Amino acid sequence: MITNIIKNGTNYLKVQLQEDRIIGSKDNILYSQGYIIKDELSSPFFTQYNGKGTIAIGANFPNEILHLKLKPSSSYTFSYDNFAACSVNVRLTYIPNENKVIIENISNEVQYLWIFAFGNFEKIILDQEEIEIKKGLLLIYHSFMEKVEKNNFIVVKGPAKFYIQTLIKNENKGDNIISNFLQNVKNKGKIRNTLRNI
């Protein structure tokens, strides 16, 4: 069982393991309690947890947690900083020079992914129009989605669907910049917005 806990505007996951398994971000584990076995995966950034007990996974940012279902053979890309946890029948590839993760569902069943959206999140669906998104706000997208960098923005042309976040992690200053979506995203067409599943 996985519970989403909200305290002081910051969300974290509380995972109750009953002889089952989950993959978590090594950097975002808050604590583990009970009979929990930790197995390091091929990448040092991800740890598989199994056994019987409790794991808490969080991030020290104001955030929302996005719960996503991954269809068989699907592939998505997101920042490592946003990773919380996922089910085990996936392939995780870390790209160090970009600090990004590619997740692939390698099973014949739906798999699950939990990621932190700094600030909040919104789902964007494009038909044939295009959109300019400020760098750092693109949260998760299909690995084959076409996008082009343009100054401080990323240009995405439809058809496409993806999630954005509304807070940018500023690693140079060690703090956060709250970005207003209406000011930082230049929309060149009609956008339909819905929440949840990618």
Residue with tokens 């970005």: 179
The predicted-structure confidence for 70-91, as pLDDT tens digits, reads as follows: 999 999 999 999 999 999 999 9
Query: How much is the pLDDT for 141?
Result: 96
Query: How much is the pLDDT for 60?
Result: 77
Query: How much is the pLDDT for 191?
Result: 39
Query: How much is the pLDDT for 100?
Result: 94
Query: How much is the pLDDT for 29?
Result: 87
CA dist 74 and 143 (Å) reads 9
CATH of region 2-118:
3.60.160.10
Say which amino acid occupies 129.
Answer: E
Query: How much is the pLDDT for 197?
Result: 57
Query: How much is the pLDDT for 25?
Result: 87
The residue extents of the domains of the chain are 2-118, 121-188
**Spans of the chain, pLDDT less than 70:** 1-10, 170-198
DSSP 74: -
Query: How much is the pLDDT for 23?
Result: 93
Backbone angles phi, psi at 81, to 5 degrees: -60, -25
DSSP 108: S
